Amino acid sequence: MDKFILNVIHRPELVPEYINSDAQEGQTEQVGKAEVVNESLDIFRLQQEIAHRNGLRTTIQMTYSSLYNDECIELVKKYHDEYGDEIGHTFLGVNCKEFREKYKSKELAMWLFPMDMKKRIVVDSFERFKEVFGFYPTSTGSYFMDAELLNYIKERYPMVKAAVATCFEEGPKVFRHTNSSWYTLMDGSPWTAWIPSKKNTHAIAEDEDDDIGIVAVPHLSRDLLAIMDNAGDMFGTHPQNIIRGLIYEGDRLPYMYNLVDQYQVMKKYNKGFSYNLVYVGPGWMGKSGRWEADYRILKKSYEDFLAYYGELKNEGKVEDMTMTEFADWFRKNQPRSGPICGLWKDIVYGTKNQVFWYADSKFRVQIDLKQGGAITDLRPYASKLSRPCGAGTKANQDASYPYIVHSRYRAGAFTHYAGEGAIKSCKVRYGSEEVDLSSCRSTGTYSEGEGCRILGVRPVEIEFKNLTIKLATTYTFKENTGEIIISRKIVESSEPAAQVEVDEFLTSCWGTNEYPEDLTGCLLSVSGKDGSRNELSYEYRCREHSAENVECAEAVIPQVQTKVGLTPSSEGCKGYYEEGYSFAPNLKIGISKKIGLNQELVTCLKVERAK
């Protein structure tokens, strides 16, 4: 397969988020002001004209307000007839006069309404859509849609095939970036198209029974390395977001082309398939500019961006589809449960840094190659957590899928003064010296085997006082099993007879942001090959236990219904757990063994739903 697919989405949002606030500066709020509506429609026309000029078809997502605007409706019908654009639907842009009068609410985020109102809005807007166009939409979207909302839509309107279901890694980092005022707290989803579980939108479906019935796409295709430690709203297929990040000079934005080209490279890791979504709201192309950028550069960046896709299309390198066409294609050509992979390289900071991402129905894993190939973010999709969001739910605004490892939110390799942060890494000991692999920068190689995807971490050199070794790491992801086989092998040694202790460990916790959550009641255990078992219930008392010749070391985190374990493939391994304490609120499990040249420690990291 050789398929790079593009969805371009435009929405006639007659009261755009940003234009509206600009128009209201110093004035009494007047949602629906004529000049705002007219400017927004002009922007929509311009966006459409730019797409068509470059031979690209679009999906037009009708907002609530646009379904009550005759001029817009006629315009959209014309685009559909002349260019084959899809007329779809969105829950963005509900902030209009008609909506406020009917619902008596200023809420603007579909995923944050109480469920009874979500249902009313679905029926109201879908029926209005049918009244206007004579058919129901087959694609919809919002910045986030939880599984409860998607299940309801699919049950009531089974013709819906596609949805913009999340914004990839818009979570605490974006919240902070927006002066703690933009409530898209939704970390944890796949970064490209996927089929969600009926139990949680973020999680990839297990099987046909778990299939929610729609193909989900993330709002924008983002830089998989830049977003790890930065707000994602500056690093995506959205030229004006790139301008917001000041990643440009004059009218030059080479980074936006670099992003597209790196997404073409993603075909290499996904059996020839890759995907891009472009979705620029009209508020980003207002005549009054956006922050420092004037209208000219905002407009030109969009023209240049779509012109590049147009060139790629002419060269046969990208295929533009509408959202529903893409959903049909995806159903026929992609496996329901993944996996999806990406070995992403730095294209903006001038480093050799790389990151590997993997996702299937059991987990989403991020491996930071500059940290020796440590797992720095792990979301346990296997638990298929039921986690509805919005008013009246426990999570309310916090729509993220919880992590069990997050090295940036929860310290990782570096802590101040005491304790250890959340990371899956490895320590190598020789005599009294110890080196954490996360301090050894490396890069990765990618390959595939029967039912598995393999990340090779290029060997790193580890220097002790009287010994230098090279250690190679391999991660083998056994597709949709929740198992990662991790091999640590000594491939060179200055003292061939010397042995070092390799300690394969996981320091874990759970949460959705930077702050610690309660670990009370987590179960830590070490089981021996002889059938013995030592178990502990977490109470922040800094207790620990180790045993020789172990079968496995495990942790159950009931708060996220997740069990995670490390099982060695060989005899004679030591296993341990460490409880942690309140200043170091983590749990730790590990497997260790002494090995020499050309020997390896192989362990299986398994993530599963806790019973």
φ, ψ dihedrals at 600, nearest 5°: -140, 155
- Does the protein bind other proteins through residue 272 (CB under 8 A)? no
> Do residues 356 and 343 make contact, with C-beta atoms less than 8 angstroms apart?
yes
Q: Which of 446, 470, 529, 609: binder of other proteins (CB under 8 A)?
A: 446
Distance (Å, whole) CA 303 – CA 294: 15
User: Which residue in 326, 351, 375 sits closest to 486, CA to CA?
Assistant: 375
Q: Which of 102, 130, 287, 352: binder of other proteins (CB under 8 A)?
A: 352
- Does the protein bind other proteins through residue 540 (CB under 8 A)? no
Q: Which of 27, 28, 179, 432: binder of other proteins (CB under 8 A)?
A: 179
> Measured between alpha carbons, how far is residue 414 from residues 371, 423, 536 in Å?
11, 10, 27
Tokens, residue 453: 């995807």
DSSP track, 36-100: HHHHHHHHHHHHHHHHHHTT---EEEE-TGGGG-HHHHHHHHHHHHHH--EEEE-SS---SHHHH
| Least distance between other proteins and beta carbon 274 (Å) | 11
User: Which residue in 119, 91, 96, 116 sits closest to 106, CA to CA?
Assistant: 96
Which of the ranges 139-147, 360-368, 442-450, 532-540 carries the binding residues for other proteins, by CB under 8 A? 442-450
- The residue (of 136 and 446) whose beta carbon lies closer to other proteins is 446
- The residue (of 172 and 218) whose beta carbon lies closer to other proteins is 172
DSSP track, 351-362: S--EEEEEE-SS
- The residue (of 135 and 291) whose beta carbon lies closer to other proteins is 291
- Does the protein bind other proteins through residue 292 (CB under 8 A)? yes
| Least distance between other proteins and beta carbon 268 (Å) | 7
- Does the protein bind other proteins through residue 284 (CB under 8 A)? no
- The residue (of 291 and 583) whose beta carbon lies closer to other proteins is 291
Distance (Å, whole) CA 490 – CA 602: 12
φ, ψ dihedrals at 123, nearest 5°: -65, -45
Strands (E), 548-599: 550-557, 562-568, 574-578, 587-595
Q: Which of 177, 198, 362, 593: binder of other proteins (CB under 8 A)?
A: 177
| The amino acid at 70 | D
> Do residues 223 and 408 make contact, with C-beta atoms less than 8 angstroms apart?
no
- Does the protein bind other proteins through residue 569 (CB under 8 A)? no
- The residue (of 493 and 513) whose beta carbon lies closer to other proteins is 513
- Does the protein bind other proteins through residue 24 (CB under 8 A)? no
| The amino acid at 493 | S
| Least distance between other proteins and beta carbon 377 (Å) | 18
Binding mask 116-155 for other proteins (x = CB under 8 A): ----------------------------------------
| Least distance between other proteins and beta carbon 258 (Å) | 4
Q: Which of 24, 178, 396, 599: binder of other proteins (CB under 8 A)?
A: 178
Segment 447 to 466, residues that bind other proteins, using CB under 8 A: none
| Least distance between other proteins and beta carbon 68 (Å) | 31
- The residue (of 349 and 515) whose beta carbon lies closer to other proteins is 349
Distance (Å, whole) CA 463 – CA 379: 33
Q: Which of 78, 102, 268, 296: binder of other proteins (CB under 8 A)?
A: 268
| 484 Rama class: left (phi>0) / alpha (psi -120 to 50) / beta | beta
Q: Which of 348, 391, 452, 454: binder of other proteins (CB under 8 A)?
A: 348
Q: Is the C-alpha dihedral spanning 385, 182, 12, 295 positive or negative? A: negative
> Do residues 566 and 605 make contact, with C-beta atoms less than 8 angstroms apart?
yes
- Does the protein bind other proteins through residue 265 (CB under 8 A)? yes
- The residue (of 456 and 590) whose beta carbon lies closer to other proteins is 456
Binding mask 235-264 for other proteins (x = CB under 8 A): ---------x-xxxx--x-xx-xx--xx-x
- Does the protein bind other proteins through residue 216 (CB under 8 A)? no
| Beta-carbon contacts of residue 285 (< 8 Å; ≥ 6 apart) | 43, 46, 47, 240, 295, 298, 299, 302
Distance (Å, whole) CA 226 – CA 236: 10
| Least distance between other proteins and beta carbon 290 (Å) | 8
User: Which residue in 149, 145, 146 sits closest to 120, CA to CA?
Assistant: 149
> Do residues 12 and 76 make contact, with C-beta atoms less than 8 angstroms apart?
yes
Which residues on neighbouring strands pair with residue 406, listed in sequence order?
Answer: 377
Torsion of CA 128, 129, 135, 136, to 10 degrees: -100
Q: Which of 73, 123, 307, 347: binder of other proteins (CB under 8 A)?
A: 347
- Binding residues for other proteins, rule CB under 8 A, total 42
- Does the protein bind other proteins through residue 316 (CB under 8 A)? no
| Least distance between other proteins and beta carbon 220 (Å) | 17
- Does the protein bind other proteins through residue 403 (CB under 8 A)? no
Name the pairing type of β-strands 483-493 and 600-609: antiparallel
Which of the ranges 109-117, 169-177, 584-592, 602-610 carries the binding residues for other proteins, by CB under 8 A? 169-177
- The residue (of 179 and 432) whose beta carbon lies closer to other proteins is 179
- Does the protein bind other proteins through residue 315 (CB under 8 A)? no
- The residue (of 130 and 268) whose beta carbon lies closer to other proteins is 268
Positions touching other proteins (CB under 8 A) are 25-26, 173, 176-179, 230-231, 244, 246-249, 252, 254-255, 257-258, 261-262, 264-265, 268, 289-292, 294, 343, 345-352, 354, 443, 445-446
